[in-house]
């Protein structure tokens, strides 16, 4: 079975999605990611979808759901690398990535996560 | 056709190999990586193979060859995340990853690349 690797980079976990997501792959990714956040105490998750040429409602829901799970485990999620055509299709189809933050690429995503960390640190 | 995404993180390009490499995928990866090094001026390449359960002589040669191409374009390559069983098999089969540096995980790989950069900077 396909298993998507989760790379740790300091306080951030990085996931690169390269394969078409099937139910089982998506489920395993959610479980692995939740376990890894708990294990490492990571407070940021970055999901790179630059290899995906299609983001349908299944993948959209999966991204929202990962983001929600991470949020409960006090980690913020940023989806990066979305192809322009994918963004257009998402809007045309009326699919909103509820609760999912996006950034253009990994570097901007890292900056966004740093900013979120600073904001969180300021909260009482 | 499968295309393996190459993520830029500052001066380092990160590649996560998740699929079994076919001739065409490997060829495309080499070309994409060479183009990306030239485009970005990156001086480090990190290849994560934690998802690979088998590294045969084809993949071994591909890693050596990527490392050689990157070297010519003045970038250093580090292979990270090799599973222990893969390391054992490589040695048992007598496959040496010629010219390929390895590190346990992405974080150690980043440290190694930083160290290599400092050494390179010291050279006359």
Dump pLDDT digits (tens) for B35-57: 999 999 999 999 999 999 988 88
Kind of pairing between the strands at A6-9 and A12-16: antiparallel
Contacts of B80 (CB under 8 A, 6+ apart): B46, B47, B48, B49, B50, B102, B103, B104, B105, B106, B108, B109
Collect all residues of chain A within an 8 Å Cβ-Cβ radius of residue B7.
14, 16, 48, 50, 81, 105-106
For chain A, the domain total comes to: 1
Indicate whether A78 belongs to any domain. yes
Q: What is the pLDDT of residue B1?
A: 52
Mean pLDDT computed over every residue of chain B: 91
At residue B93, φ and ψ (nearest 5 deg) are: -80, -5
Polymer length of chain A: 124
pLDDT tier, B20 (very low <50, low <70, confident <90, very high otherwise):
confident
- Give the pLDDT band (50/70/90) at residue B2: confident
**Mind listing the pLDDT tens digit for each residue in A63-103?**
999 999 999 999 999 999 999 999 998 888 888 888 889 99
**Cα distances (Å, whole numbers) of residue A108 to A52, A65, A112, B51:** 19, 22, 6, 26
Chain segment A16-50, per-residue pLDDT in tens: 998 888 888 899 999 999 999 999 999 999 999 99
List the CATH number of the domain containing A70. Answer: 3.30.750.24
**Is residue B1 assigned to a domain?**
no
Q: What domain range includes position B14?
A: 6-122
User: How confident is the model over A106-119, as a mean pLDDT?
Assistant: 93
User: What residues of chain A lie within 8 A of the CB of B50, using their CB?
Assistant: 5, 7
Determine the residue among A1, A5, A22 to mutate to test chain B binding: the one whose Cβ has the most chain B Cβ atoms within 10 Å.
A5
User: Has residue A1 been placed in a domain?
Assistant: no
B16 and A19 within 8 Å at the Cβ level: the answer is no
- Single pTM value for the model: 0.85
Q: Is A42 contained in some domain?
A: yes
Contacts of residue A27, defined as CB under 8 A and 6 or more positions apart, other chains included, come to none
Model ipTM value: 0.77
Query: Closest Cα to residue A9, out of B32, B46, B115, B33?
Result: B46
- Strand B6-9 with A101-103, pairing: unpaired
Interface contact flag, A16 B16, Cβ < 8 Å: yes
Query: Which residues of chain B are at the A interface, by a Cβ-Cβ cutoff of 8 Å?
Result: 2-5, 7-10, 14, 16, 18-19, 48, 50-51, 81, 105-107, 110
Kindly report the nearest CA distance between residue B17 and chain A, in angstroms.
Answer: 9
Question: From the candidates B14, B16, B49, which should be mutated to test the interface with A, based on the most A CB atoms within 10 A?
Answer: B16
Confidence label for B99 from pLDDT (cuts 50, 70 and 90): confident
Which of B7, B8, B105 is facing A16, going by the closest CB pair? Answer: B7
Q: Is residue A40 part of a domain?
A: yes
């Amino acid at each position: 079975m396909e298993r998507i690797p989760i790379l740790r980079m300091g306080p951030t976990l990085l996931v690169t999605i390269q394969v078409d997501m099937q139910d089982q792959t998506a489920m395993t990714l959610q479980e692995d990611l939740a376990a890894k956040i708990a294990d490492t105490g990571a407070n940021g998750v970055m999901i790179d979808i630059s290899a995906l040429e299609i983001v349908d409602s299944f993948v959209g829901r999966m991204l929202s759901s990962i983001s929600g799970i991470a949020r409960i485990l006090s980690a913020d999620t940023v989806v990066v690398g979305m192809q322009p055509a994918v963004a257009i299709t998402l809007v045309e189809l009326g699919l909103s990535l509820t609760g999912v933050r996006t950034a253009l690429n990994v570097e901007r995503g890292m900056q966004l996560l740093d900013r979120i960390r600073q904001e969180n640190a300021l909260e009482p």
